[in-house]
């Protein structure tokens, strides 16, 4: 359970979990030992005006694991429980050492183009930066999660300030995800 702590970020660093529950990363940059992978991001609780917390799940940087946020006080839960890795386009796919898809980059992360990243001439708002075919893949799979920078309308949730939040990685309704990516002997 996470209390309201202000503006901070937690990134899901879990890529595989072995049969004993040990976390192992299976993604490394080919140029170094630095881990580089897309992350399902939980950006935290942003306390706002009027006594409201704002919370969301974001696939703007890509996807690696399902996540859910369940606030108390009767506030609306949100989740991204689909296994986007299972249908990630090859050009966005991040492969583990055994060739399996262990993450799915966003088009922004994969191609670093202004129209995918909502930067440059596309940075002035949703009138200039529109969803792309790639962001729609993420949105169709996880309709409550951010799929691109200006995806606010269906992706941000509020609760009265002071609520507690249960953040669950690989929630129960996503357990098929684990069987598709867990390899107890995945090479790092």
pLDDT in the model for residue 126: 94
Mean pLDDT of 154-164: 89
More confident residue, 141 or 44: 141
Per-residue pLDDT tens for 40-99? 665 555 556 688 888 899 999 999 989 999 998 899 999 999 999 999 999 999 998 889
Q: CB 63: neighbour CB atoms within 10 A? A: 33
Q: CB 139: neighbour CB atoms within 10 A? A: 19
Element counts in the chain: helices (H) and strands (E): 4, 13
Name the most confidently modeled range: 5-9, 62-66, 84-88, 182-186. Answer: 84-88
Considering only CA atoms, which of 78, 61, 41, 42 is closest in space to residue 158?
78
What sign has the CA pseudo-torsion 127, 136, 91, 40? positive
Dist CA 109 CA 96 (whole Å): 18
* Structure tokens, 42: 């939980």
* Structure tokens, 100: 């399996």
Considering only CA atoms, which of 18, 2, 37 is closest in space to residue 166?
2
Domain 7-178 classification at class level: mainly beta
Q: Specify the pTM.
A: 0.73
């Amino acid at each position: 359970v996470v209390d309201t702590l202000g503006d901070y970020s937690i990134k899901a660093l879990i890529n595989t979990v072995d049969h004993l529950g040990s976390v192992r990363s299976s993604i490394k940059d080919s140029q170094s030992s630095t881990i580089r992978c897309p992350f399902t991001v939980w950006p935290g609780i942003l306390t706002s005006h009027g006594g409201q917390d704002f919370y969301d799940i974001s696939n703007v940087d890509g996807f690696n694991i399902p996540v859910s946020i369940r606030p108390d006080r009767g506030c609306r839960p949100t989740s991204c429980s689909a296994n986007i890795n299972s249908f990630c386009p090859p050009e966005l796919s991040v492969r583990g050492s055994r060739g399996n898809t262990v993450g799915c980059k966003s088009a922004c992360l994969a191609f670093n183009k202004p129209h995918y990243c909502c930067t440059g001439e596309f940075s002035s708002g949703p009138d200039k930066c529109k969803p792309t075919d790639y962001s729609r893949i993420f949105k169709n799979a996880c309709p409550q999660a951010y799929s691109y920078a200006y995806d606010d309308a269906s992706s941000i949730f509020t609760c009265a300030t002071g609520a507690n939040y249960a953040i669950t990685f690989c929630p129960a309704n996503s357990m098929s995800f684990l069987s598709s990516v867990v390899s107890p002997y995945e090479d790092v």
